Copies of this chain bind each other. A is one copy, B any other.
Amino acid sequence: MVKLQGFQTLTNVDEALKKWLDAWSIKKSQQIVLPLDDVSDVCGRVLAEDVVALDDLPCFDRSAMDGYAVRYQDSIAASQSCPVKLVVIDTDAEIAIGQAKQVWTGNPLPKGANAVVMLENTVREGNTLTIFSPLAPSINVIRRGEDVKKSQLIAKKGTRITPYIVGLAIALGYSSLKVYQKPIIAILATGNEIVTVGTQIGEHQIFDSNKFVLSAMCQELGTQTINFGIVKDNIEAIAEKIRQALQAADALITTGGTSVGGLDLVPDAVNRVGKPGVIAHGLALRPAMPTGVAVLNDKPVMILSGNPVAAIIGFEVFGRPAICKLLGLNKTEQRLPLKAVLTRKVSGVLGRKTYVRVLVKLEKGELLVEPVSAKGPSAISTMTKSNGYVIIPENCEGLKEGEIVLVQMFSNIVADEEVETCVS
């Protein structure tokens, strides 16, 4: 049963990703209606409907200032030396020629008025208001529909809901929105040496950390996760867990047992469960070469490395786009791309797409990209010391010091003191 060779060939990452994403479909995702006042549940969800303005916003002309609503025509002759006097009325009647009415910011504009003069530009004695300069039509007025016109598309189906979309929808009179149900991702760890967190560890055993990192990354993207536990390196036991996971979830992520060693049984277990099984295994990707992608029951299966960093990068490359598709998003959400200056050269490997972990700092207004010293795919401390990736393409030998590079940011930039502490 022992295979005596490494990966015979490595598959190009972009080709594998495209082929795999095309090899499974999104199930008719359940749509649910969520009330907008439960913002903690609504924000981050994905719209299952176009949000269209039900009316103009605002739906009446409003004053933009504290002051007096007037007819601009009455102000045309006003000047410092020759001010215009108007009569202040206090009823809901239409503003007639020569009249004014006090308004506060946000108040509806009284009928007949078509401009607002700011309080500080007026003098009032009794019911007489004096103004000293001409007003333009509609000055200091927020016109009906100025923010949004009725029937305008506010947010498209497949958009992730932000606090601002919630605010705009409420302002437009929505009290709920139709969203997609959260997809469910099953996560399974494999390996004889893996031990559950919180239990006693034996010699040469290691704690199961990957499952929780991957679970957190899935949840950050807006999915539910199911912890499918740890399974030993036994092909039938792994296959059985995979069968169960695919019953319970919309997608499966495994971690461990994915290289080509004697105990790397996950790809074979996947193929034992069904067709088409493994689509690609062994990728031109550094780290995370032993990553595999598969399809079972028309559901995506991600076969990630047991090495923590390789598992994380494998998830970034394959898990993120797959989950965006499962969520019903219009497009894969990329990490925020940031351009900055590389402080030290980094080497790539020709023919491999390389993910370099970097720490981006803001120093005296300058964004600097410092590569975090590479320690191999098992060193998860490199993830806590970095806040972004730089991707070196397959056809590039490396990046030069001083070069401007595009960084995909996965964590915040912290100020110098704190960063220093973390880099130690």
Contacts and interface: CB of A to CB of B under 8 A. Distances in A.
Contacts of A42: 216
A171 B204 contact: no
A231 interface: no
Contact of A338 (B216, B331, B338): B338
Nearest to A8: B120
Interface string A57-71: 110101010100000
A15 interface: no
A103 to B, nearest CB: 9
Nearest to A306: B106
Contacts of A66: 6, 259-262, 264
A418 B329 CA distance: 11
Nearest to A154: B384
B331 A414 contact: yes
Contact of A162 (B5, B108, B264, B411): B411
Interface in A333-381: 333-334, 336-340, 362, 365, 367, 375-376, 378-381
Interface size class for chain A? 35 or more
Contacts of A261: 66, 104-105, 119
A216 B378 contact: no
Given A40-B219, A167-B308, A147 B418 contact: no
Interface stretch (A17-25, A207-215, A292-300): A207-215
A38 B37 CA distance: 26
Interface string A106-149: 11100000000011100010000000000000000010001110
A212 B376 contact: no
A175 B197 contact: yes
Contact of A198 (B37, B146, B164, B208): B37
Contact of A422 (B156, B307, B406): B156
Interface in A1-58: 4-6, 35-37, 39-40, 42-43, 57-58
Given A6-B120, A58-B378, 10 more contacts: A5-B119, A43-B216, A106-B306, A154-B384, A166-B212, A167-B209, A167-B213, A167-B380, A331-B418, A336-B412
